[in-house]
Structure 1
Amino acid sequence: MLCTLITILPAKAQRPTSLDRPLVEIRTTLGTLVVALYNETPQHRDNFLKLVRDGAYDSLLFHRIIPTLMVQGGDPDSRRSGIDAALGNGGPGYSLPPEIVPGLFHKKGALAAAPLSDPANPAGRSNGSQFYIVHGKTFQPKELDLLAQRNARLGTPVNYTPDQREAYAREGGAPHLDGGYTVFGEVVEGLDVLDALADQPCDARDRPLHDLRMFMRVLP
């Protein structure tokens, strides 16, 4: 699973209209993020919106943080978990098929679906509720070339466009995840909050030492 996780937009970028992409506000202990959901991934978009409207994410934890990679949350078991509880295996009781779309990639701020925790998941299905937001680091062209070769060997080939290469070099991200997981949205406000979340101290399991709760609503 993913503690220390977008066409990338600048932190002051204008918010897209709700007619373009649905917007969801994620209030956290450290501030507020706004994410836009991609219409190119309709199953993940609609599932996320339903869970938000049902209050399924309210008071859940960001239970895993990996610095320079991502912040992860959405495990329903985290709502009332003790400090020693092992988190990351919970879900709503269903999974989603992958919707991996060329052009939707793991740059900083990308909202993506966490995979099922079952290692025997050859279809690459997504956990029905868990998600991660990419924090990442910057990558230079030669590094991307090596990652593209690696992904091709793993059966998830990715051909980076000039714009994607520029985004990874300028904003950063996690290109080694491209082609393996569904990216279904991006942060359009609050990249500074993402930085603050990713900077939190964690234990040996990548769980934050202090609870970081979330509350969500669909914006009009």
Structure 2
Amino acid sequence: MMKLFVYFIGTVLFFGSCEDKKKPAEVENETVIETEIETISEVEKNAETEYPEITNENVVSFLTEYGKNNTETLIVIATPLGEIEIELYTDTPLHRANMIYLVKQKYFDDTFIHRVVPNFIIQAGNSDIVSTPRKRNVLGNNYLLPAEIIPGRIHQYGTVSGAKEYRENPDNSSAPYEFFIFLGPRSSTSHLNGKYTIFGKVTKGMDVVEEISKVKTDDGDWPLQNIYITAKVIE
């Protein structure tokens, strides 16, 4: 009974903490509250034993070294509506390495396309199931990615950017576990350009992104039907 009560309170806090995401100016990551300690999955065990927890103190050194040994730049996000192929930019090396790391650690598997704003963005990497915060706790629950904003690079149709904690974030650091794909229009980018790190682009599957952008959502832009994803590295 006590576990159920704690779980209920945690759930209320989680949904109560979400901002109104319908405003394009507030593209952000929301912290998920872990409500219960359960058996660690095999994926979590592997992550725990093979690599150290990422923190704000070691994030640059860890991802720099990881990026040297894992040079892939192409990933595929699989959804119920089809696959989305993403090319990661080499001139945003921390974001590229972080994405490859999370994909190889199976972090994105069984997370959702959790935010959909028609004619603007779709955002992925979160969920409301307990495995997601547990994975974050193992990989590193409190680190941010230093901004890697390239002068002159702007949000365009199909660009991929890091979501961020917009509160108390003057350095425009990215939240590591969530990303968004931009649909347009360019007139909606003034609050994004120069403030969010663009670290890739969709090379195949924008038709899938378009279909996802049409799904029905609640008042917080969360799809009414969960859109589960998995991810894999191609090359």
Q: Scaled by the length of structure 2, what TM-score is found? A: 0.63
Q: Match for 2:225 among 210, 213, 220?
A: 210
The answer to whether structure 1 residue 122 and structure 2 residue 170 are counterparts is yes
Deviation at 1:61, TM superposition (A): 0.7
RMSD of equivalent CA atoms: 2.4
How many pairs does the alignment contain?
162
Higher share of residues assigned helix: 2
What is the CA–CA distance in structure 1 between the aligned matches of 2:123 and 2:23, rounded to whole Å?
8
Corresponding position of 1:152:
none
Map of 1:11 onto structure 2:
none
Deviations along 1:47-99, whole A, 9 cap, x unmatched? 01000000000010111111111011112x53449xxxxxxxxx843111100
RCO (CA 8 Å, sep 6+): is it higher in 1 or 2?
1
**Deviation readout 1:16-36 (Å, 9 max, x if unpaired):** xxxx97100000111100000
Larger Rg: 2
Deviation of 1:138 after TM superposition, in Å, equals: 5.3
CA distance in 1, matches of 2:193, 2:125: 21
| Contact residue 33 and residue 187 of structure 1 kept, 8 A | yes
String of CA shifts for 1:85-143, please: whole Å, max 9, x gaps. Answer: xxxxxx843111100002432101111000115x111111110111111111255xxxx
C-alpha displacement of 1:213: 0.9
Give matches, 1:61-80, under 5 Å. Answer: 61-75=112-126, 77-80=127-130
What is the alpha-carbon distance in structure 2 between the residues aligned to residue 183 and residue 46 of structure 1? 14
Q: Quick one: percent identity of the two aligned structures? A: 33
* 1:51 lines up with 2:102 in the alignment: yes
Q: Distance in 2 between matches of 1:22 and 1:4?
A: 32
Q: Which runs of 5 or more residues in structure 2 are unaligned?
A: 1-18, 25-70, 132-139
Could you tell me which amino acid in structure 2 is paired with residue 120 of structure 1?
E
Please list every run of 5 or more consecutive structure 1 residues that lacks an aligned counterpart in the other structure. 6-19, 82-90, 140-172
Code of the aligned partner of 2:147: P
Greater share of residues in strand:
1
Is 1:25–2:76 an aligned residue pair? yes
